[in-house]
Amino acid sequence: MSESPLPPKRPLPKLTEADTAEFWKRTRDQQLSYQQCSDCDEIVFYPRHHCTHCLGNNLEWRTASGKGTVYTFSVIRQSYHPFFRSRLPYAVAWIDLEEGPRILSNVVGLADPATLEIGQSVEVEWEPHEELSIPLFKPVSAPV
């Protein structure tokens, strides 16, 4: 395989996927969004066109504060994907947003990602792209 002259790129979400396109369109304005059912108050995430609790279609978009805590994480030390291989080692984490949704992302901004801890407070840090922004997260204080 010949070396590409361009740096490898992060795989980006599709703006055409039926249920999640609206989420990604809202990231252009750096809005981190989730849905709440107007009928039963259920928080719905990942986004859908129906409520996963009552099957209703009255979902309202809400904007999250971008603040949350690390529920769990791993530091990846081996990847065959060109972009992610270029970023090794890096942290992936399930993050519980303070409004309730659990989102998968990267925790960035640590000199050594292995120093991350469960329960770490984090906040969103946007990585802008042409048609959308990627919600990454960074620590906001030292772990307790």
The rounded distance, in Å, linking the Cα atoms of 116 and 109 is 10
- Which residues, 6 or more positions from 29, have their beta carbon under 8 angstroms from its beta carbon? none
Q: Which of 47, 66, 68, 139 binds another protein (CB under 8 A)?
A: 47
Q: Rounded to whole angstroms, what are the CA distances from 43 to 11, 29, 39, 71, 128?
A: 27, 22, 11, 18, 26
CB of 144 to another protein, least distance (A): 13
CB of 58 to another protein, least distance (A): 19
What are the φ/ψ torsions at residue 95 (nearest 5 degrees)? Answer: -115, 125
> What would the x/- binding string for another protein be over residues 83 to 122, using CB under 8 A?
xx--x--x-xxx-x---xxxxxxx-------x---x----
**Positions that interact with another protein (CB under 8 A):** 10-14, 17-20, 23-24, 43, 45-48, 71-81, 83-84, 87, 90, 92-94, 96, 100-106, 114, 118, 134
